[in-house]
Amino acid sequence: MKITKIKGDITSKVANSFKNSIAIDTEATGLQIPERDKLSLIQICDEDKNVFIIQPEKETYKAPNLVSVLENEKILKIGHFLRFDKSALEFFLKCKIKNIFDTKIASKIVRTYTDAHGLKNLVQEFCNKSIDKRQGSSDWNKDIDQLTDKQLEYAANDVIYLHKIKLELESMLIREKRFDLFKKCLVFLDTRVELDQKGFKHDIFEH
């Protein structure tokens, strides 16, 4: 695994290097976006396990090269709990992410033999690896050059396994004839994100 730290925006060369799919994740100052917290880091992993950890410019969040990748319908964006990451990226980068695969939604639809759908659980089952999630509660808003090796490894672990997990879950969804249902959930995710951003974070379908 190679980790590259980037401040501001990826270069056009990096953007053009992404072909079929990328794994994405974000770190923020908290979970209350957009009303309180800010987007701190964006992690991307390509198909060759090259990880890019990007610290966006904190005032304008302008990142045209990164946005061009996120909005490229030909590049699949794989994430775990994209409800949060999609909302944060679209709000701060002023973009619309297209072509996604959410491993958490896929897991909940097809791994009905368990109620453990966290990334750590999926990495253990499909990659036979154990990842440490204790670095999650960190100050991600400090300068990227001040982040420790453990913090960088934690951020990278959130994307490095997603391509493998996606392949496994996709195979299961097709086998169990639930892939169409999964795709409908991804379509609804745009509405779910809009509800979150407008303050409707509870389940509006509850009695």
Residue 156 class from Cβ within 10 Å (0-12 exposed, 13-18 middle, 19+ buried)? buried
* pTM score: 0.95
The three-class DSSP label of residue 62 is: coil
CATH code of the domain containing 48: 3.30.420.10
**What is the number of domains present in the chain?**
1
The residue type of 59 is E
- Take residue 147 and report the two structure tokens written for it: 């982040």
Kindly state whether residue 206 falls inside one of the protein's structural domains: no
At residue 164, the pLDDT reads 98
Cα separation, 55 vs 200, whole angstroms: 29
Predicted confidence (pLDDT) per residue in 139-186, tens digit: 999 999 999 999 999 999 999 999 999 999 999 999 999 999 999 999
Q: 7 in a domain, yes or no?
A: yes
Q: How far apart are CA 89 and CA 87, in angstroms?
A: 6
Domain that holds residue 42: 2-197
Is 72 inside a domain boundary? yes
Residue 75 lies in a domain: yes
**pLDDT number for residue 136:** 64
Give the chain's length. Answer: 207
Give the residues across from 54 on adjacent strands: 6, 42
- Closest by Cα among 82, 55, 79 to 66: 55
**pLDDT tens-digit profile of 45-103?**
999 999 999 999 989 999 999 999 999 999 999 999 999 999 999 999 999 999 999 99
Q: Is pLDDT at 133 greater than 90 in this prediction?
A: no
In a domain, 8, yes or no: yes
User: How far apart, in whole angstroms, are the C-alpha atoms of residue 41 and residue 54?
Assistant: 6
Q: Is residue 203 part of a domain?
A: no
Does any domain span residue 205? no
